[in-house]
Structure 1
Amino acid sequence: MNRMVESAIVLVIVAVITLIGNSIGHNFGLLEALPGMAVLFGICLAGIAANRFVFSKLPPVLYIITFGMLVTLPGFPGSEQFAAWVSKVNFLALTTPILAYAGVGIGKDLDALKKTGWRIVVVSLFVMASTFVASAGIAHVVLKVLGEI
């Protein structure tokens, strides 16, 4: 099966699970969160397509993040509407199916995970801490430049 089709199927499954979780645990209904999920789906699909057809040496997440930032930049046509739609999709509802998928992926390579041993825990802690500090630093600089803080 084509990689794009497989990715689209996985994205549809994640979108459906997210919409169900969003409607159960949060104040937004299925139909209210549907436009935001469609925007997220489109951004992800565009990022995967760009990875496949433009420059495949970069990870798809780089394209997805870039497209997501572009469509929500002030001055981009429809950015306010996109941001309003996506704000109806709760972050925790979005992470649940993604983490479940990651868990299944790791579970398939349990022997490889066992071989890495305790070192993977140390590396993971450093990666998470440095990602958090870098994200906070970037956010601080951007908010300072915008005059928000």
Structure 2
Amino acid sequence: MAQGLNKYVKYGLVLLLSIGLILFTQEIKLIKNPEGTPITWTTIGGLLVLWLFSFIGILISGLVKKIPVKIVQDFPVLGWVSITSLVFCLMSDTFIHLIQGVDFLSITTPILTFAGISVADRLVDLRKTSWKVAIVAVFVFSGMYVGSAILAQIGLHLSGQ
């Protein structure tokens, strides 16, 4: 029991570190662009709400691992966090108002950093994959870029711009 509790304390602290990095990133962005989203008590509240949603999603993910249904057990943590966020934001506009105080680009920077660290931690596994994976990745990234550009152009055209 103590081992499981210890794991969740560690998750909570990692999420707290992430929140700190988001706040730091938003402050640095304000130095470079003073017209950006200012840091207010709403920002702090929004970060705490994001921490809470993430932690609840992690708890749900841990709890459903005990359910003997494979689909539920294999459902990713990100999915549980998203569902938790969606349910709470549908219940109250307060959560949405608080989260709007957090700059979106300030959130993406730490997330991409953590993703890079997790990939760098598995470089040995990455080297074992075939070189063909790199070719597929280039086509996937290019296709996503072109597809996004086409959708954006359609959106601009429909809005009359």
Which structure is richer in relative contact order (CA contacts within 8 A, separation 6 or more)? 2
Quote the residue 1:29 is aligned against: 39
1:116-135 equivalences in 2 (<5 Å): 116-121=129-134, 122-123=136-137, 126=140, 129=144
Gaps of 5+ in 1: 137-149
* Cα RMSD, aligned residues only: 2.6
TM-score (norm 2): 0.69
Of the candidates 47, 55, 65, which is equivalent to residue 57 of structure 2?
47
Could you tell me which of 97, 101, 110 is aligned with 2:114?
A: 101
Contact 1:47 1:60 in 2 (8 A): yes
Aligned counterpart in structure 1 of residue 101 of structure 2, from 84, 88, 106: 88
Whether the aligned pair in 1 keeps the contact of 2:15 and 2:51 (CA below 8 Å) is yes
Normalising to structure 1: TM-score of the pair?
0.74
Q: List, as ranges, runs of 4+ consecutive aligned residues in structure 1 with deviation greater than 6 Å.
A: none
Unaligned runs of 5+ in 2: 30-35, 66-72, 152-161
Task: Find the aligned partners of 2:37 and 2:128 in 1 and give their Cα distance.
Answer: 44
Q: Distance in 2 between matches of 1:82 and 1:20?
A: 22
| Percentage of matched positions with identical amino acids | 24
CA contact (8 A) 2:37 2:102 kept: no
Displacement of 1:94 after TM fit? 0.7
Aligned to 1:144: none
